[in-house]
């Protein structure tokens, strides 16, 4: 992905949230030079991977296969004494027709909540101990109601609806074409996307960046380069 594309995607997300009158926390609006000036009091943002996260999953086509994430809060897999928070909250924006490919989490349990916009299609699949597809039913919870579906079956979440996903349950998220951008919120146990994702068929979780312009906003993978405490 090009840095110019990331800049445009983040600005578009900020504009979208503003249009919904849902302001983000102050660090969502920080520019590159603002990040360079932060002190140790902001260490939690960096250590727990808070902020913007954009990926095309190695597809080279973000509009077709990709995801924008903003992490509001999170705990830490490795330092529970310093960061005892056992939960995380994220914003996920899925464009009309955009896909988040099949994956599951080894440890994380999550609720995916459609907070508005279009419909979200959730395609489910069971997995074995090696992370391979198996032809067995998948049981999830839809707004407090237990639902069992066949592997490969799709559940549609309309605005206001949510699904609870357990570790090991493959899921593919798709913004239903023709219904508009989907605004999702994810509430989960502590999350670490560097180690807790198992993708079935894509090449990687994080994008390879072409620095064609300077970053306007940072994604969390930039913190190591630009932030020195």
Q: Give the helix ranges, DSSP H, for the chain.
A: 3-19, 32-36, 43-47, 223-226
pLDDT tens-digit series, residues 152-168? 999 999 999 999 999 99
**What CATH number is associated with residue 124?**
2.60.120.10
Cα distance between residue 136 and residue 180, in whole Å: 32
- Domain membership of residue 9 as a residue range: 3-226
Element spanning 146, H or E:
strand 145-149
What does the pLDDT read at residue 229?
Answer: 77
How many separate domains does the chain show? 1
Residue located via tokens 């020195």: 228
User: Phi/psi at 149 (nearest 5 deg)?
Assistant: -130, 165
pLDDT tens-digit series, residues 57-101? 988 999 999 999 999 999 999 999 999 999 999 999 999 999 999
Residues of the chain with pLDDT under 70: 203
Q: Which residue in 35, 65, 69, 31 sits closest to 52, CA to CA?
A: 69
pTM value? 0.95
């Amino acid at each position: 992905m090009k840095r110019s594309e990331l800049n445009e995607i983040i600005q578009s997300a900020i504009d979208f949230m503003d249009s919904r009158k849902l302001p983000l926390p102050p660090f969502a609006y920080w520019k590159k030079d603002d990040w360079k000036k932060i002190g140790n009091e902001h260490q939690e943002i960096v250590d727990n991977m808070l902020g913007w996260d954009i990926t095309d999953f190695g597809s080279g086509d973000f509009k077709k296969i990709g995801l924008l994430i903003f992490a509001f809060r999170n705990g830490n897999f490795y330092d529970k004494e310093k960061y005892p928070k056992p939960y995380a909250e994220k914003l996920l924006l899925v464009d009309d027709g955009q896909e988040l490919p099949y994956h599951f989490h080894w440890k994380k349990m999550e609720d995916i909540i459609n907070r508005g916009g279009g419909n979200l299609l959730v395609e489910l699949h069971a997995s074995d101990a090696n992370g391979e597809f198996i032809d067995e039913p998948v049981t999830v919870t839809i707004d407090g109601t237990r639902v069992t579906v066949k592997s490969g079956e799709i559940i549609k979440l309309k605005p206001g609806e949510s699904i609870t996903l357990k570790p090991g349950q493959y899921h593919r998220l798709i913004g239903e074409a023709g219904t508009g951008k989907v605004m999702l919120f994810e509430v989960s146990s502590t999350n670490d996307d560097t180690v807790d994702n198992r993708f079935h068929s894509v090449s990687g979780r994080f994008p390879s960046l072409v620095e064609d312009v300077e970053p306007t906003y940072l994604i969390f993978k930039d913190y190591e380069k630009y932030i020195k405490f």
